[in-house]
Amino acid sequence: MKTGRCCWPLLLPLLLLSGCGYHPLGTEPIGGITRTLAVPLFTNRSTEVGLEAIMANALISTFAQTRAVKVTPYEDGADLVLVGKVQSVDNTSVAYSSVTQSTVRRVIVRVELTLRQQDNGKVLWKDTQILEEDYVVDPGYQAGEVTRAEGLRRAAVKMAQRVLNKVLLVL
């Protein structure tokens, strides 16, 4: 009998939240209106070929998972446009097996992002993201490039999640 009473303090908040319409941010349209967001291909000022598509695709995929905004491929039909520019990509070694052999490297990507309203061009926010991701260096060139590309994709996914959170706060 005593055990039942001690569980009520734990269950009461859950029961109250379930009836109040609480839901995590980004799972419902803001104000009942679904706004459209265009994410064009990024501009790439780095020497990394294809990085502009990796970054844009990570954002499109992340935004497509929320119902707060609808992703559209066309800037003309969008309420908001998220423009990105890859400024630079650097690599540095962070772990070594010997003085001349690195085993773990870090890719550092600098990306500038601008969210603007399509109809009047008003900038809602501007941000610079510094993305860092470690990857294991493989002695074989092909395998090493694959692990580096995986590091770049992981960095893009992390950036997309951060940007989603910022955009949802602005809406």
Q: What is the structure's pLDDT at 150? A: 92
Q: Give the residues across from 30 on adjacent strands.
A: 33
Instruction: Judge whether residue 25 has pLDDT over 50.
Output: no
Q: What is d(CA 145, CA 138) in angstroms, rounded to the nearest whole number?
A: 8
Structure tokens of 104? 């773990």
3-class secondary-structure state, position 112: strand
165 versus 33: which is more confidently predicted?
Answer: 165
Stretch 149-165: mean pLDDT: 94
Domains defined along the chain, listed by start: 31-170 (3.30.160.150)
Average of per-residue pLDDT values in the chain: 83
pLDDT grade for 43, boundaries at 50, 70 and 90: very high
pTM of the model: 0.75
Nearest to 133 by CA among 145, 147, 144: 147
C-alpha distance from residue 94 to each of 72, 101, 107, 132 (Å): 40, 11, 10, 12
62-116 tens-digit pLDDT: 999 988 889 987 898 899 999 999 999 999 999 998 888 888 999 999 999 999 9
Stretch 45-68: mean pLDDT: 92
